Amino acid sequence: MAELKIPVDDEAVIRELKVGDFVELTGRMITGRDAAHKWLLEEPREDVAPYMKGTMIYQCGPVVRKNPDGSYVFVAAGPTTSIREEPYEADVICQYGLRGVIGKGGMGQKTLDGLGRCGAVYLHAVGGAAQVLANSVTKVERVFMLEEFGVPEALWVIHVERFPVMVTMDSHGQSLHRVVEAESRRKLEELLGLETL
């Protein structure tokens, strides 16, 4: 399994990734989900931007423990459903120079186009695998918007080691989710004896 260091300086590294590849991520990334995506596009967030450039946004609302010394530990940290960020994600990727999105369930055409245009990938983590994934989080560096958004929706800057993901949408217009949907639609039509839905 290939290890990918993040942030990624070289766009060509991302362009080499194809649907079906397994990758383990090591380095720094940031979490962000519903409230964060909306907030990131309301105006340029200059304090957060350096933590996004060249890395991945992890669509995750973790369970977090605060230690007596004020530091944080990720107790459980699987991905959330990505499709809710479909209206925002392509713009977040291109504006902030992200190289990828980590989530679950796949995203749509607008995001797929954004991946191609700005050189990024969609990485699928296993939904619900909150312990396996939390084990790969080695450090919580800092957090943005904790007070305003609460624990699940805050933007957490984290360090990960060999964080396991699968490429299901790449920068060449390929999407595993589109393929599975088309095949299952054909099968549904066959089971129901319908021409086309």
Partner 1 sequence: MVDPDRLTETFLEMIRRASTELPADVVEALDKGREAERRDSLAEKALVTILDNVDLARQKVAPICQDTGTPVMWIHHPIGVSTRVLEKAMVDAVRQATARQFLRPNAVDTLTGKNTGVGTGRGIPFLHFEEWDSPDIEVRMILKGGGSENVGAQYKLPDNALGAGRDLEGVRRVLLDAVFQAQGKGCSPGTLGVCIGGDRVSGYEESKRQLLRPLPDVNPVPELAELEARVLKEGNELGVGPMGFGGRTTLLGVKVGVLDRLPACYFVTISYLCWAGRRAGVRIGEGGDVTWLS
Rounded CA separation 67/72 (Å): 6
Residue entry with tokens 């369930």 = 105
Site string (5-44) toward partner 1, x via CB under 8 A: ---------------x-x------------x---------
Which residue(s) pair with 30 in the sheet?
Answer: 57, 157
Among 71, 109, 131, 138, binds partner 1 (CB under 8 A): 131
Name the DSSP letter for residue 43: S
Strands 155-169 and 137-144, by their bridges, are antiparallel
- The site for partner 1, by CB under 8 A, has a size of 54
H or E element, residue 116: helix 109-118
Is 72 a binding residue for partner 1 by CB under 8 A? The answer is no
Residues of this chain that interact with partner 1 (CB under 8 A) are: 20, 22, 35, 60-65, 75-78, 80-81, 83-84, 104-106, 124, 126-132, 134-135, 148-153, 164, 166, 168, 176-177, 179-181, 183-185, 187-188, 191-194, 197
Positions annotated as catalytic residues are: 37
